């Protein structure tokens, strides 16, 4: 073995910190190109160009209330006991343009959102008029009694109050949440240019695996990882492409891997622990290159990362998750999620984190960062972290019960009960608030 190979081997097999592994992985991902997409589909995506308003919102001065548009001077002396009576000369509803103007001594009946008629400088809501008495009398309302001296401009919403014509309302780089989607709709955009969603090909490997929905067969287990990973990809904004199950032989692996070459990323699970290296390595040698890492974390110490040659200059990054279902999910949360975020143009890669009081100890036997499945709840104003029991990485139901991952740092042999622990929140169920 020459020096270079030796160095390379050493490099691959050294224990990497979570941060180093993440940095190396993210170095292979780039923000994807922008594409136009129907507005609603863009939820959670990143706006790729500034959104500029073509007109004012609201477009015209309009009424904040159902009532009467008047001139404030006409009702300067109005009181509850002696209302000022005005002649009703018209009506205007939202979406209409006023056909009559308001003059001294007259009023136009107006609905919320309707444009203010020319001449009017205030709106008096129905509640401050004798509208109800008159309506109850059964006669047409030709006059209206105003019971207050309306301040100038009252209940008029000025044009452009929300958005001014020709201004940048949302900047490129903004994450589109429901409120931003609403703002874009209010600007009239039916489509929007966003960073496109990454297509993530997902492949499980193992002779023991059955696809969910297939008949049960003794000695086999159902493939959980394809589904937990695909669901995570969906949740974080990517488009999962399930390749199914590759068997533990070269042909099967080769065939399936080829199906993943059109994706923006391939995620496999299993086959990355010591015993399995050789075959996966051989397969990957045909398609690209791969490194097998030991990451200083528990669960999910073994991790593979490489690139597949996809024709021409194109390369597809490949993340090889461990097979144990909890390991696969925890590694996905640390690395897969970040890669998806980076491709989508998002800058914050970390899950939301909180500090919680640990209700029981987390033991750390071998200097790795421990991600303990935990249930976080709020008690007397403090967050508390209770572990979900047995932390073996094959127990997927313990992941289902958890809403967070409580982190014991690699340099501590134990995080004691009562100590403060950092928790990566997986979810924010109601009882955590
Ligand atoms: P391996 O890395 O292939 O040795 O797998 C480690 C453990 O994870 C074994 O117990 C496998 O049966 C299990 N495993 C691998 N892939 C899956 C999967 N897709 N779903 C559930 N368990 C799996
Ligand atoms: Mg296996």
Quick one: which of 193, 177, 154, 189 has its CA closest to 71?
Answer: 154
Say which residue the tokens 């209940």 belong to.
155
203 DSSP β-pair partners: 244, 268
CA 325–ligand 1 middle distance (angstroms): 7
Q: Which tokens belong to 283?
A: 């397969």
Measured from the CB, is residue 269 less than 6 Å from ligand 1? yes
Nearest residue by C-alpha to atom 5 in ligand 1:
323
Distance CA 412, CA 388 (A): 21
Which residue reads 């991790």 in tokens? 303
Distances (CA, A) of 56 to 60, 164, 165, 167, 324: 8, 5, 4, 9, 56
Q: Which of 206, 211, 271 to mutate to test the pocket of ligand 1 (most atoms within 8 A of CB)?
A: 206
- Best of 204, 222, 323, 397 for a ligand 1 pocket test (most atoms within 8 Å of beta carbon): 323
Ligand 1 proximity of 327 Cβ (cutoff 6 Å): no
For residue 205, the CA-to-ligand 1 centroid distance in Å is 8
What is the rounded CA–CA span in Å between residue 330 and residue 418?
Answer: 25
Task: Point out the ligand 1 atom lying closest to the alpha carbon of residue 322.
Answer: 2
For the CA of 204, the nearest atom of ligand 1: 19
Using CA atoms, how far apart are residues 104 and 146, in angstroms rounded to an integer? 13
Domains of the chain, each with CATH number or no CATH: 3-32+196-343 (3.40.980.10), 38-57+162-195 (3.90.105.10), 62-157 (2.170.190.11), 353-425 (2.40.340.10)
Distance of CA 247 to the CA centre of its chain: 35
Q: Verify whether ligand 1 is closer than 6 Å to residue 225 (CB atom).
A: yes
132 lines ligand 1 (CB under 6 A): no
Total residues found in the chain within this entry = 433
Q: How confident is the model at residue 348, as a pLDDT?
A: 84
pTM for the full model?
Answer: 0.92
Please state, in angstroms and as integers, the Cα–Cα distance from residue 182 to each residue in 58, 137, 204, 290, 388, following that order. Answer: 14, 43, 39, 44, 40
The residues near 27 (Cβ < 8 Å, ≥ 6 apart) are none
Tokens of 251: 């042909």
Which ligand 1 atom is the nearest neighbour of the CA of 272?
Answer: 2
Q: CA triplet 103, 105, 106: central angle to 5 degrees?
A: 60
Tens-digit pLDDT string for the chain (433 aa): 333 333 334 344 579 999 999 999 999 999 999 999 999 999 999 999 999 999 999 999 999 999 999 999 999 999 999 999 999 999 999 999 999 999 999 999 999 999 999 999 999 999 999 999 999 998 899 999 999 999 999 999 999 999 999 999 999 999 999 999 999 999 999 999 999 999 999 999 999 999 999 999 999 999 999 999 999 999 999 999 999 999 998 899 999 999 999 999 999 999 888 877 767 777 877 889 999 999 999 999 999 999 999 999 999 999 999 999 999 999 999 999 999 999 999 998 888 999 999 999 999 999 999 999 999 999 999 999 999 999 999 999 999 999 999 999 999 999 999 999 999 999 988 878 7
Q: Omega of the bond prior to 11 within 30 degrees of 0, cis?
A: no
How many whole angstroms separate alpha carbon 380 and alpha carbon 348? Answer: 31
Q: Given the DSSP bridges, would you call strands 143-146 and 84-92 parallel, antiparallel or unpaired? A: antiparallel
- Identify whether the C-beta of residue 415 lies closer than 8 Å to the C-beta of residue 401: no
128 lines ligand 1 (CB under 6 A): no
| Tokens at 412, concatenated | 């501590």
């Amino acid at each position: 073995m020459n020096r270079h190979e030796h160095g390379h081997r050493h490099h691959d097999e050294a224990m990497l910190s979570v941060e180093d592994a993440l940095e190396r992985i993210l170095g292979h991902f780039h923000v994807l190109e922008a594409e136009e997409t129907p507005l609603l589909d863009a939820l959670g995506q990143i706006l790729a160009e500034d959104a500029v308003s073509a007109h004012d919102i609201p477009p015209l001065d309009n009424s904040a209330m159902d009532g009467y548009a008047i001139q404030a001077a006409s009702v300067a002396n109005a009181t509850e006991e002696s209302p000022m009576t005005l002649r009703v000369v018209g009506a205007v509803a939202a979406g209409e343009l006023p056909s009559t103007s308001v003059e001294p001594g007259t009023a136009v009946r107006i609905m919320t959102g309707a444009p203010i008629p020319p001449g009017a400088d205030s709106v008096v809501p129905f509640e401050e008029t004798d509208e109800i008495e008159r309506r109850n009398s059964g006669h047409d309302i030709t006059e209206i009694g105003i019971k207050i001296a309306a301040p100038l401009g009252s209940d008029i919403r000025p044009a452009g109050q929300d958005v001014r014509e020709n201004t940048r309302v949302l900047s490129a780089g903004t994450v589109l949440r429901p409120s931003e989607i609403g703002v874009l709709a209010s600007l009239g955009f039916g489509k929007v240019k966003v960073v496109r969603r990454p297509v993530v090909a997902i492949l499980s490997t193992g002779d023991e695996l059955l696809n969910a929905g297939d008949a049960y067969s003794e000695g086999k287990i159902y493939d959980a990882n394809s589904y937990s990973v695909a669901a995570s990809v969906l949740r974080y904004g990517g488009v999962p492409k399930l390749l199914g199950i590759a068997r533990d032989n070269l042909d099967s692996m080769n065939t399936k891997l080829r199906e993943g070459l059109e994706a923006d990323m391939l995620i496999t699970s299993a086959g990355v622990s010591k015993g399995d290296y050789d075959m996966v390595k051989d397969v990957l040698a045909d398609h690209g290159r791969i490194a097998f890492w030991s990451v200083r974390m528990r669960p999910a110490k073994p991790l593979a990362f490489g690139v597949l040659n996809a024709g021409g200059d194109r390369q597809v990054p490949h993340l090889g998750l461990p097979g144990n279902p909890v390991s696969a999910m925890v590694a996905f949360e640390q690395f897969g999620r970040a890669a998806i975020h980076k491709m989508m143009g998002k800058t914050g890669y970390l899950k939301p984190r909180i500090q919680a009081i640990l209700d029981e100890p987390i033991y750390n036997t071998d200097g790795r960062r421990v991600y303990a499945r935990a249930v976080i709840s709020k008690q007397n104003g403090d967050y508390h972290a209770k572990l979900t029991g047995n932390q073996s990485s094959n127990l997927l139901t313990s992941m289902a019960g958890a809403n967070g991952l409580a982190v014991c740092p690699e340099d501590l042999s134990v995080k004691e009960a009562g100590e403060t622990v950092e928790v990566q929140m997986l979810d924010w169920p109601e009882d955590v608030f």
